[in-house]
Amino acid sequence: MSVEVTVDPGRLLRMVRARGGIAHRVMTTRTRRIANIAAAEAPGRMGDYVDWEVRQGPRGLQGVVRCDHPAVHYVLRGTRPHLIRPRRARALRFQADGQTVFSQLVRHPGTRPNPFLQRALRMGR
């Protein structure tokens, strides 16, 4: 007795890559894991702005992790030393050594880059 099996490569590929298929489930699991790591690695409340999705891209499925916080660019790339002046008020108000301080100019020393999204990608593999 012999059994003949015919495999349609196109149909097999569609089945594997379809929403809910094997590749989609694996991609969803990995993307979610990387997004959770990114949210934990993000400074302050920036982790609340981390979101993810799995979508069909030009070359197949893509897992996308993004952060929509308005300051994410400055955190990822860092900043150079710069001056901060009040925009609408007459003075800046902030806490320094437990005291309230008012100033018309602050010399910010800049910040080092914090590539938390890239770090999450490496850790989530």
Q: Three-state SS for 80?
A: coil
Whole-number pLDDT of residue 87? 92
Confidence of residue 38 (pLDDT cuts 50, 70, 90): very high
In contact, 83 and 105? CB cutoff 8 Å = yes
Distance between CA 24 and CA 18 in Å, rounded? 7
Hey, where are the domains in the chain? 9-80+110-123
Long-range Cβ contacts of 66-70 (<8 Å, 24+ apart): 67/38, 67/42, 67/117, 69/42
125 band by pLDDT with thresholds 50, 70 and 90: confident
> Residue 13 in 3-state DSSP?
helix
Taking the alpha carbons at both ends of the chain, their separation in whole angstroms is 46
SS3 of 57, please? strand
Q: Which of 6-10, 71-75, 79-83 is least confident?
A: 6-10
User: Model-level pTM?
Assistant: 0.76
Backbone angles phi, psi at 41, to 5 degrees: -80, -20
The band of 83, judged by pLDDT with boundaries at 50, 70 and 90, is very high
CA atoms within 13 A on the CB side of 103: 13
